[in-house]
Amino acid sequence: MKLKYKKIILLTTMSTMGIGILTISASNDRTQAQENLSAKSVQEAGLLAVSSEADINIDDMEITVTAALTATPIPSPTPMPVYDIEKDNYPKITKLFKDFYIAKNDRDVDTIKKILSDPTKVESQDELQKKTQYIEEYSNITAYTKKGFEEGTYIVYVYHEIKFTGINTPAPGLSKFYVITDENNKLKIFSGEMDETTQAYYDDRNKDEDVVALIEMTNTKSKKAMNKDEDLKNFWKNIKELASSNATQAEGDSAE
């Protein structure tokens, strides 16, 4: 493979891909939305955090035993609502992500700070430069949105196509983000840590039928693009190999 493609792969892998071919989430960028959403203080988003219970010493409690008590039925938990996906049905959300991708490719740190729920999570200009120096353009940005279980929250799958330097055909991709409404009623890309309930709900949406269909659509477009352009095909192949190698190395390091 050409040296320039190796450099592109090393500098863009993981940080630019979405659910597309590699099924990488959105959470690496969150911003790291893993371009993912890096994952995972939802308290600032107005969501309920899991609180730890205080220790209880039974010796300090007064216990009264009553004969023939009838057990009180424990109500079943109310299932959380699951909403249908909507394509570009929230103009403000679509604009949010178009602004985000433009700012990212322009290495516009100040604009990204305004877009993230936690501005301290923004990457430095140097980091953005390394990740985007071989990206010419993000195009065809489309927001597929599901409402979250908390008012003013959204799970957003962003379809986009990335034009890499030296490769003629744009690469289709899909990235996942969590969007909240802040205290000033402004939409923000969430860049904090999710509590367990929110994280589980967020992750489970990937199993929804309409999301599965969206992922399949993206994969189909990706395959067509690769069949059309051998350079793009080799590029994706080497990204997958590098991702697999990195995962194997990480497992080895953790075992030591």
Q: Tens of pLDDT along the chain (256 residues)?
A: 554 555 554 444 433 434 333 333 333 343 433 343 333 322 222 222 222 223 323 233 333 333 344 455 555 567 889 999 999 999 999 999 999 999 999 999 999 999 999 999 999 999 998 888 889 999 999 999 999 999 999 999 999 999 999 999 999 999 999 999 999 999 999 999 999 999 999 999 999 999 999 999 999 999 999 999 999 999 888 878 887 887 777 777 666 6
Q: Is residue 22 one of the residues assigned to a domain?
A: yes
In a domain, 226, yes or no: yes
Contact, 144 vs 86, CB < 8 A? yes
Tokens for 42, please give them.
């939802």
Of residues 253, 229, 250, 244, the one with CA closest to residue 9: 244
In-domain check, residue 101: yes
Residue 86 is part of which domain span?
A: 3-42+82-247
71 assigned to some structural domain: no
How many domains does one find in the chain?
Answer: 1
> Would residue 68 count as lying in a domain?
no
**Quick one: angle between helices 91-105 and 125-132, nearest 10?**
90
Say what the pTM is: 0.72
Domain annotation covers residue 220: yes
